Structure 1
Amino acid sequence: MLALMQRFIRAVDAVNYRVGRVIMYGIFVLMGILLWSSISKTFFLPTLWTLEMAQFVMVAYYILGGPYSVQLGSNVRMDLLYGEWSIRKKAWFDLFTVLFLIFYLCVLLYGAVSSTAYSLGYWGTEPFSFFSGLVTGAEEIGHMERSPTAWRPYLWPIKSIMILGMFLMLLQCLSELFKDVLRLKGESI
């Protein structure tokens, strides 16, 4: 069981490390979009797509970069008491609190799946069965949701990125949970 936990930790950490390293360059994409927005407003006709595309890029940057941030331990913590604790006490506290985070991420993941199914034209109450039906051919994509802005992009791509980001964050939190269990057992990680 411990070897399985260590393999899971290595696999999830490797995936989130690579995704995080690629996504961290998304800030340059965001800067390019905002620079083009400024240039087009100053010298040409203003473009309709820049503000909303900048928002989409920022969402992807934030959502997909979150697991990498957790992996590096660069997320925000209240260090008033935590910083003085022993490694074992920190592991117990992290083990306890990550369970709340996992529950919260499961709720967010369900909401992201439901919202993505809605954006693909599904108005039912079982979004997971809709996606399994899409794979098997039992379901069809309906009227796709679009943004109410003048540009009117489809919303399913950014909502799909939300699903991916929540799923990667959930996997990273499970990895952190397993790391805490291994620390409490005295195993090296």
Structure 2
Amino acid sequence: MFLSLSRGIDKFNEVIATAVSWALLAAVIISTVNSLMLYLFKSSSNAWLEIQWYLYGAVFLLASANTLKRDEHVRIDVIVGRFSLRTQVWIDLFGYLVFLLPVCALIFWFSLAYAEVGYLSGEIRNVGGLPAWPAMMLVPIAFLMLIVQGVSEIIKRVAFLNGRLEAGAFRKVAPTPADEIAAIKAANAPE
């Protein structure tokens, strides 16, 4: 039952990350059009600048849970990589339970009030700009998604320790920095 829940959480965060990746394209297009308008017609607006900021923020915040799912967050592989896989999983569990979940829960809790104040006040940061509350709402949403993904990662690690799941279900394809460097070099090698 818990592994089904974990798979559902993983799928949800993959879908959100895929959808929000289109926001990056939109931000690039808006940035290009805004630059052209400024260069050609000496005309721009704060709203155009702020929508870029909102879109970049959405990409960063809403894709962070999928980054955790893909095991692509910042790690200290140089040290942890020397331990056995089982020890690495225990370190992951410790990190999720002691650091990730409590910190994300605190940020989620305090950002709710921040987003509520922004929504109720109708705050606009710059003349001619956009309301700030949509960007403010991204913070609690993103950290709630991180909490839920953290629970999914804990489920997978516990299942691995109990022999019910293979490590490939939660480990990167290229597990070592040396493998990643070799893949980058191979991709950039002249043909």
**Superposition TM-score, scaled by structure 2 size:** 0.81
The number of equivalent residue pairs is: 164
Match of 1:178 in 2: 155
- Write out aligned runs for 1:19-30 (5 A): 19-30=16-27
* Among candidates 124, 132, 139, match of residue 155 of structure 1: 132
SS at match of 2:123: coil
For residues 115-170 of structure 1, the C-alpha deviation after alignment (integer angstroms, 9 at most, x for no partner) is: 1111233xxxxxxxxxxxxxxxxxxxxxx231231123222222222222111111
Report what 2:92 is aligned to.
94
In the other structure, the counterpart of 2:187 is none
- Using the alignment, how far apart are the partners of 1:157 and 1:120 within structure 2? 8
Return the offset for 1:112.
1.6
Residue 175 of structure 2 corresponds to none
Q: Indicate which of 36, 56, 67 corresponds to 1:69.
A: 67
Deviant stretches of 4+, over 3 Å = none
- 1:167 equivalent among 144, 150, 155: 144
Residue in 1 that maps onto 2:32: 35
- Asked if 1 retains the 8 angstrom alpha-carbon contact of 2:47 and 2:128, the reply is yes
1:109 counterpart letter in structure 2 = F
More deviation in 49-58 or 148-157? 148-157
**In structure 2, what is the Cα distance between the partners aligned to 1:156 and 1:111?**
15
